[in-house]
Amino acid sequence: MLHDRRVKTAETAEKSLCDLMEHAFRLSLRIVYSTIAPKGDYLNARDLNGQVSEKTQTMIYAWADGLIHKYYDNMASGHCSFQAMIDFDVGHFEESVKGDIQIMEEILAKIGAPKKLTQAEYRARGYRGEEAGYTAEEERVYWLEYYQKETAKLESEVAGIKNKLARKEIDFDQYYDVIYGSNSAIADYKKEIEKLSALL
């Protein structure tokens, strides 16, 4: 274990600051997410509460959200106050990055790497598209039916509201936003139906 840590420390020492930051970013994603799609996209955020301290979580999320990269870019490019630029110490920052990497590597070793889903597992979770093994025609048919069903559902709801308005059972002002929003959605769905139908 000690030998492995020394090897990792030596490898980290040889990397450029740019490489170190990219490594830290990738490590943070592997901690934050519990699963990976077949083609490499990260899925399903991991619950770190009880496993990682709040302070350490803040550091990890700062890397995962790109805040550390943004901070460094601002310091390096001068998009900060003059005093902040003068006070910024690249060497100190690099050591801080190395420290974060060591902490994240230890956490990842403890909680385990995210699970990479097979195509079958990905599909079973309800994901669609080529990555889930669906053909372009299967996708076209699926979405065409989806938009048709949603359009019919919304049109029925709007018709019901209009009938109640005609009988003065409800107040128009109270349902104006609902009618407007539903009609906008119906118009958007019909555009998608036209596009998908044109692919026949």
Q: Are residues 150 and 115 in contact, defined by beta-carbon separation less than 8 angstroms? A: no
Strands 33-36 and 42-45: antiparallel
pTM, 2 dp? 0.72
Return the pLDDT at 19.
96
Return the pLDDT at 11.
55
Return the pLDDT at 15.
83
How many Cα atoms within 13 Å fall on the side-chain side of residue 120? Answer: 0
**Tens digit of pLDDT for each residue in 47-69?**
999 999 999 999 999 999 999 99
Residue 36 neighbours by CB distance under 10 Å: 19
Supply the DSSP string of 181-194, one letter for each residue: HHHHHHHHHHHHHH
Q: Report which secondary-structure segment, H or E, holds 42.
A: strand 42-45
**Tens digit of pLDDT for each residue in 73-124?**
999 888 989 899 889 999 999 999 999 999 999 999 999 999 999 999 999 9
Return the pLDDT at 10.
47
**Tens digit of pLDDT for each residue in 144-192?**
999 999 999 999 999 999 999 999 999 989 899 999 999 999 999 999 9
